[in-house]
């Protein structure tokens, strides 16, 4: 089992079934069809050109639904505040001497930042900074937007309403507050020490996503029980719990307007994925060809 693959997937795809990223939602009394799209948070916007009808489906929609609204008031300030390490923690105590020096050296190599430069940030934020920087080294592109923010920006320009399935406070709690600082520090060390494997895994992740065939990665993520894998509770909170909450909110949105629902692709599949949960509620969820 590849130790860190599940951690990488957790960050990047936070997997559509049967080689498909774009789905149509209809039936169950809907007057207009809606669409469901699985995003990858770091692929370039130009990738959308390879997906037939994605722009056509987006333009047909009246409302864009995402995990959360990125233009929410004071979002950046709230994230910055939540990402700060509590004053009673210091990395010289959180990490062993060898781990401290390794993390410091690896951060400098990839992000040009020393551990001292980010010493007031929580380990989860440092890990995110590292992964994004390393991903951009492996797959450089000039896009300033992620797929999620791109759809929201275009919706704003077209005068479409943007709705979040969660609040920024929900996201903050999940990413920065659901794990202890000690657990975050443990995963930070594991992430940086797994750099060699991450290289191979990121290439594999990208290849599967671009083919729309990521079920093997979902299975690896769910079945991984290695040292640095998410716990069963962490997996539940990241995926199933959120999907179950989202499918309580989606019907009202779908029956009021034609929606373009764009969420991390890992949320689409599996027993408690959005595709299956919507079908259980009586909707037809079919591939857009």
Per-residue pLDDT of 145-193, as tens digits, reads 677 789 999 999 999 999 999 999 998 898 889 999 999 999 999 989 8
Q: What is the pTM of this model?
A: 0.86
Name which of 222, 239, 219 is nearest 178 in CA terms.
239
Q: Which token pair is 178?
A: 């659901």
Q: How far apart are CA 275 and CA 269, in angstroms?
A: 6
- Summarize pLDDT for 74-120 with one digit per residue, the tens: 888 899 999 999 999 999 999 999 999 999 999 999 999 999 999 99
Q: How far apart are CA 215 and CA 208, in angstroms?
A: 9
């Amino acid at each position: 089992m590849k130790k860190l693959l599940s951690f990488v997937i957790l960050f990047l795809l936070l997997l559509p079934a049967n080689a498909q990223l774009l789905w149509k939602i209809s039936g169950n009394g809907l007057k207009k069809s809606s669409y469901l799209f699985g995003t990858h948070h770091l692929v370039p916007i130009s990738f959308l050109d390879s997906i037939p009808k994605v722009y056509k489906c987006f333009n047909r929609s009246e409302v864009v639904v995402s995990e959360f609204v990125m233009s929410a008031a004071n979002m950046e300030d709230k994230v910055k505040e939540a990402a700060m390490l509590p004053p009673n923690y210091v990395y010289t105590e959180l990490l062993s001497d060898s781990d401290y020096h390794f993390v410091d050296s690896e951060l400098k190599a990839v992000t040009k930042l020393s551990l001292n430069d980010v010493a007031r940030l929580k380990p989860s934020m440092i890990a995110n900074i590292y992964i994004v920087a390393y991903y951009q080294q492996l797959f450089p592109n000039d896009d300033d937007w992620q797929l999620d923010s791109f759809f929201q920006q275009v919706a704003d320009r077209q005068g479409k309403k943007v709705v979040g399935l969660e609040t920024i406070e929900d996201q903050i709690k999940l990413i920065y507050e659901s794990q202890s600082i000690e657990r975050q520090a443990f995963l930070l060390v594991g992430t940086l020490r797994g750099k060699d494997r991450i290289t191979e895994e990121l290439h594999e992740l990208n290849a599967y996503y671009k083919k729309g065939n990521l079920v093997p990665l979902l299975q690896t993520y769910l079945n991984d029980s290695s040292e640095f894998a998410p716990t069963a509770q962490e997996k539940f909170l990241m995926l199933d719990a959120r999907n179950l909450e989202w499918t309580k909110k989606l019907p009202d949105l779908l029956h009021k307007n034609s929606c373009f629902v764009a969420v991390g692709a890992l949320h689409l599949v599996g027993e408690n994925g959005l595709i299956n949960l919507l079908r259980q509620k009586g909707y037809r969820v079919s591939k857009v060809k």
